[in-house]
Structure 1
Amino acid sequence: MSSKFRGKYLQIIPLGIAHLKFDNSGNHYTWRKVSTTVHNMIVGKLWLDNHGEMEIINHKTGDKCCLKFIPYSYFSRETPKKVTGYVVDNEGTFKWFITGMWDEKIEACRVTSQSMRGGKPTYETGPPKVLWKRNTVNPEAERYYNFTELACQLNEPEENVAPTDSRNRPDQRLMEEGNWEEANLEKLRLEEKQRATRRKREADAELAANEGREYPAYSPTWFRKLTDEATGALIFRYTHEYWDCKERQDWSRCPDIF
């Protein structure tokens, strides 16, 4: 992802492509997430908005779903958080129309017939079908940033994971334990350690260039960069080595980041 910080808001732009493949049917879907903007970063109540266009493709059948996440605007009459879209088959024929809100529910109506009126296509649809509906949130959700129960559990410590696992990040752990001052100091230490590591890599790369040597680019531990055969985009694919190392508790390849 890339990000833009403009003082009042932070915009997060996903760059990677998500894949979902069903082994039994062979249906293989890809999509790219829309952008997220977090408002009132400095003053006021934090709130976020998802906006942009999303294209979901079934590479087995050629079916395509196009969704538009309409951005919030003070001057717009559109319903906030609204999502609209449609599904077409591999011949471009409309099969479904989609509408809803990304934080409440999404519905779809099947196209039952198509006709021309005044030179424009008109579609008849069946009754709406609920595709997704948000689970009821805990009444006290606002006290913990409206996180779901799953989101609250994601940072719970677990034994025998890699030392680079984000749940082992010491400043995060101190913060969860309520040690705010120690957490801030630890955060500063980690940031400076990260900067020092980057400076060393830059210095080593410059020395290698002056000596005419090739300096190896940074390479992830559990992923490798390659061209995705479905989309043609550069992706990072899992190497299937992590779980084997976890079973043997061999973390020798993990860098010292904490």
Structure 2
Amino acid sequence: MPCNSTAPAGVHVAPFVNRREGSGDPSSSSCAPPSNSGSDAPKGRQRRTTVPERPDLPINLWSIMKNCIGKELSKIPMPVNFSEPISVLQRVTEDLEYADLLETGSKLSTLEQMCYVAAYAASNYSTTGHRTNKPFNPLLGETYEFDRMEDLGWRSVTEQVSHHPPAAAHHAEGRGWTMYQDFTMTSRFRGKYLSVIPIGFTHVVFPSTNSHFSYRKITTTVHNIIVGKLWIDNHGEMEITNHTTNEKCVLKFSPYSYFSREQPRKVYGIVRDSEGIPKYVVQGTWDKSIDMFKVASWNNNHEKPKAEIDETSLKRIWTCHPLPKGAEKMHNFTQFTIELNEPEEGVAPTDSRLRPDQRLMENGEWDEANKKKLEIEDKQRVVRRRREAEKELAMKRGDKYEEYEPTWFTRVQDESNGALIHQYKGGYWEAKERHDWSKCPDIF
């Protein structure tokens, strides 16, 4: 079946290469060699290059999933057999695998920055085509830090700030940029597929131009839950806004269809200036690469733009890192993901690396991991019931009840869109330097 590309809204774009590798199987893909792999940086500590191989243990999927139809995924107790040995906090941090795009963007004009932010946003989905297992749901108060300042030029801290609904707050800072986001989601299992709809905004700030970008993440759908080979699609429109200049880009992730002539996993977007005039086209696929082009001319129609691009201006701004050798036996992790759960000294006692059920699962001890998972979750339920009882008693007495407060984040109103977000209030790295974790709850 042909995989010809059709341009969005009349925009003339360079032809795509036919990348489909499997007949009728949209999950078939491989990444091109990276032009600059951050994980290969010569500086810093020597990090691990493998994780224990995933055991090939049979499980009756339907016996577990048949009672889950229509329910919220976060409320369904799942054995570790469906998991990968990283937490949601580590999965959120995984967005930063291509943070070098933000460092490059920090040195450019605001419109070029928009192109690089769009490429960064698309790169966040680059591993989903290979990964169909779910990360561990974090406990309330669980944290995850990743300090790559020495080799990659950035550091990141994430905290589970709410249990119902589950929500994580993430803050990262690098050379010339800051990124922060709240991550929560809704999800529904419909029998044949499972859809995950993220809620909240991702923000990127470049002090060099005073630019403040934000965007919402798109929907991810897991197909063939019961019968057939699992495969994942990312689809929807992502509007990226520079709140400082009012420049915008609508980045469209095309849904997969066997009957469509669209390139599978195609991403395209038009970058417009503050007057709504197209200046750049960004296009590619979310699992391989993203290119940018300058717009040479357009038809002056804001609703239905017909633009011509300058094909000589083609610039590849992102290329996906290849999977390491033997990745299919190691949860299809990239080299960067392999490093996420590596044991590390000096982290907070609430860090995901220290979660015992997750560590047992990574080591292949699944029976022990499932027992420990139940123990940890029971401990969490006891704490939650105690807080609920204390709140009810305080209300009966007419006393003020202090709601749960995250350790490293505080809830504020976002100036750019009015939404309530969790803002990093500082102190984590200072506490680490002092070896003072007295603020951390006992969760494991």
Same fold (TM over 0.5): yes
Q: 2:186: which partner in 1?
A: 3
Q: CA deviation at 1:8?
A: 4.4
Q: CA deviation at 1:231?
A: 2.4
Q: 2:426: which partner in 1?
A: 240
Q: 1:14: which partner in 2?
A: 198
Q: Which has the higher strand share?
A: 1
In the alignment, residue 82 of structure 1 is paired with which amino acid?
K
Local SS of the residue matching 1:136: coil
Larger deviation, residues 199-208 vs 42-51 = 42-51
Q: CA deviation at 1:236?
A: 0.7
User: Identity over aligned residues, as a percent?
Assistant: 54
Once the two structures are superposed, the pairs formed by residues 82-97 of structure 1 within 5 Å of their partners are 82-97=266-281
Q: CA deviation at 1:44?
A: 4.1
Local SS of the residue matching 1:196: helix
Task: Say which one has the larger Rg.
Answer: 1
Larger deviation, residues 186-195 vs 75-84 = 75-84
How far apart, in 2, do the equivalents of 1:161 and 1:70 lie? 40
Larger deviation, residues 39-48 vs 162-171 = 39-48
Q: 1:131: which partner in 2?
A: 317
Local SS of the residue matching 2:343: coil
In the alignment, residue 371 of structure 2 is paired with which amino acid?
L
Q: CA deviation at 1:45?
A: 3.3
Q: 1:148: which partner in 2?
A: 334
Structure 1 residues 95 and 190: CA distance shift in structure 2, 3 A: same
Bigger relative contact order, structure 1 or 2, given CA contacts below 8 A and separation 6+? 2
Tell me the alpha carbon deviations over residues 92-136 of structure 1, each in whole angstroms, 9 at most, x when there is no partner.
Answer: 11112222211111222211112479xx75322111332212122
Q: Do 2:212 and 2:243's aligned partners in 1 also have CA atoms closer than 8 Å?
A: yes
Unaligned runs of 5+ in 2: 1-183
In the alignment, residue 417 of structure 2 is paired with which amino acid?
T
Q: Does 1:109 align with 2:293?
A: yes
Q: Do 2:193 and 2:222's aligned partners in 1 also have CA atoms closer than 8 Å?
A: yes
Q: Does 1:197 align with 2:383?
A: yes
Q: 1:122: which partner in 2?
A: 306
1:35 pairs with 219, 222, 234, which one?
219
Q: 2:394: which partner in 1?
A: 208
Local SS of the residue matching 1:108: strand
Larger deviation, residues 195-204 vs 35-44 = 35-44
Q: 2:245: which partner in 1?
A: 61
How far apart, in 1, do the equivalents of 2:377 and 2:228 lie? 27
How far apart, in 2, do the equivalents of 1:140 and 1:45 lie? 20
Structure 1 residues 170 and 40: CA distance shift in structure 2, 3 A: farther
1:162 pairs with 324, 348, 355, which one?
348
How far apart, in 2, do the equivalents of 1:231 and 1:20 lie? 14
Q: CA deviation at 1:88?
A: 0.5
How far apart, in 2, do the equivalents of 1:243 and 1:116 lie? 51
Unaligned runs of 5+ in 1: none
Q: 2:413: which partner in 1?
A: 227
Local SS of the residue matching 1:54: strand
After TM superposition, the score normalised by the length of structure 1 is 0.90
Q: 2:371: which partner in 1?
A: 185
In the alignment, residue 228 of structure 1 is paired with which amino acid?
D
How far apart, in 1, do the equivalents of 2:240 and 2:340 lie? 27
1:25 pairs with 209, 233, 237, which one?
209
Q: How many residues align?
A: 257
Q: Do 2:322 and 2:334's aligned partners in 1 also have CA atoms closer than 8 Å?
A: no
Q: CA deviation at 1:137?
A: 2.4
